[in-house]
Amino acid sequence: MGCLGCRIANGNEPNLNMVYENELVACVLDIAPFNEGHLLILPKEHYLDVEEMDTETAYAVMDASIKLSKVIKKVFAPDGITICQNGGSFNDLTHYHMHLIPRFEGDGFSWSEPLHPHDAGNHLKETKERMLKAMND
């Protein structure tokens, strides 16, 4: 199994801190957590991006995120939880994974503004039309 994400999801890496798993997904503590309790949810089958997943696997990922968000809230009492995933060239693991990150006021985690202005907010109607057309093609 060449993919690190596949090895993690299928329990083939040493020193994993598996918190939850079922036949479709595995949930492990991130080895470089932003905050204590930072989890990764990985499908056991290999996918790079969200749109590659079958519905059953996508549901299993979301179901695990619900279960584990409740656990994070119970154990760490965060001010909130950030749930995110990076696709394409931003997916450093090259295997789909969703982050569940317990958040606390003043923890330094931030959503940043684009480095280069793009003016996208000024043509939302055109953007919507392009997307609707693509969904119907």
Contact yes or no for 69/99 (Cβ under 8 A): no
Residues 28 and 17: their CA atoms lie apart, in Å, by 5
pLDDT tens for the chain, 137 residues long, are 689 999 999 999 999 999 999 999 999 999 999 999 999 999 999 999 999 999 999 999 999 999 999 999 999 999 999 999 999 899 989 999 999 999 999 999 887 777 777 788 888 889 889 889 998 88
Can you tell me whether residue 72 is helix, strand or coil? Answer: helix
Residues 113 and 30: their CA atoms lie apart, in Å, by 25
Domain 4-136 of CATH type 3.30.428.10 = yes
Contact yes or no for 96/52 (Cβ under 8 A): yes
Say whether pTM exceeds 0.85.
Answer: yes
